[in-house]
Structure 1
Amino acid sequence: MSEAAAEHALAIAGHQEFLTFTLGEEEYAIDILKVQEIRGYDAVTRIANTPSYIKGVINMRGVIVPVVDMRLKFNVGEAVYDQFTVMIILNLGERVVGMVVDSVSDVVALSPDEIRTAPEFGAAMDTQYIQGLASIEDRMAIVVDIEKLMTSNEMGLIDAVALAH
């Protein structure tokens, strides 16, 4: 079966594919269709006066790509860059964004009823970017609406950083 036929079969079955990755002890999942490529961590060019979670930019085949360290963004663990650190390159509409994570785990297919609504945490935690929680085998993954997160007002600096080059 071709890849397109497999994707079609999944769509008919009502499943959506997600790329899972880890940040510290937590596992997250994002829509696989937003992922352009996965690559090892590259050194970035730092941009002055950006939040700590915006590491800077890389030049990827002539495209200036802002890089966000998700460990710093979500406040989960130290940002240690080693041979396991991965950069997920996202294609979000008109923009390309790099996202640094600890490791990439798997690609999983989930149906809408397998994604449970995230509990409300009140003002203690911003859950507007969380689509829900999914049980994958014996573990729990936090399903993130990566497009909503990366295009939010607080991340608006991504546009400014990308336009500055």
Structure 2
Amino acid sequence: MPEQLITFQIADKLLGVDIMAIREIRAWTPTTAIPHAPSFVRGVVNLRSTVLPVIDLSERLGWGRIDPTGRHVIIVLQIGSQLNGLIVDSVNDIVRVEPAEMQPPPELGQAGAERFLEGLVAVEDRMAMVLDLRAMAIGGVAASPLADAA
């Protein structure tokens, strides 16, 4: 059975997440910094009276910090029982992917971003990195003081 992914951009990189995890896509909103949060947690925003931790996905994946502008968006995702926001450059499209089309990420060592990837899939003439949202949460936000804030 095909899976549907939302694809999005960070600089020239194409990424995707399972559409079922997405709760909404919002315009960039400045965040309120939280003391002692990991550097990739840019802060929190108020999402209809819920505290939403906002993750700089580029920094989380080791690609450097994003300097958000009004053109950036926040993808609100459900990861386990917690809502998280991801800062991305733009949202692209919805794509259907057959399970057999998903390729495992290459093993590049402990420090590689592949530990956050479910796999890679061809989208038109590019490779999209499909995020493993549970791996992202377990390694950082869910283990931080922000985990109980949402």
Same fold (TM over 0.5): yes
Identity rate, percent: 31
Q: AA paired with 1:156?
A: A
1:109 maps onto 2:101 in alignment: no
- CA distance in structure 1 between the partners assigned to 2:142 and 2:17 by the alignment: 20
Name the structure 1 match of 2:9: 22
**8 A Cα contact 2:51 2:149, kept in partner:** no
CA deviations 1:110-146 (Å, max 9, x no partner) are 0111111111112341523211110011111011111
Which of 136, 149, 154 matches 2:136?
149
Structure with more helix by fraction: 1
**8 A Cα contact 1:23 1:77, kept in partner:** no
Query: Structure 1: where are the runs of 5+ without partners?
Result: 1-13
**8 A Cα contact 1:24 1:77, kept in partner:** no
**8 A Cα contact 1:65 1:162, kept in partner:** no
Shift of 1:94: 1.6
- CA distance in structure 1 between the partners assigned to 2:50 and 2:111 by the alignment: 37
Name the structure 1 match of 2:79: 92
What CA RMSD, in Å, does the superposition of the two structures yield over aligned residues?
1.7
Larger radius of gyration: 1
Name the structure 1 match of 2:30: 43
Change (3 A) 1:98 1:71: same
Change (3 A) 1:53 1:100: same
Change (3 A) 1:58 1:17: same
TM-score (norm 2): 0.91
1:135 maps onto 2:122 in alignment: yes
Query: Structure 2: where are the runs of 5+ without partners?
Result: none
TM-score (norm 1): 0.83
1:34 maps onto 2:21 in alignment: yes
> What is the count of residue pairs matched by the alignment?
150
Shift of 1:83: 2.4
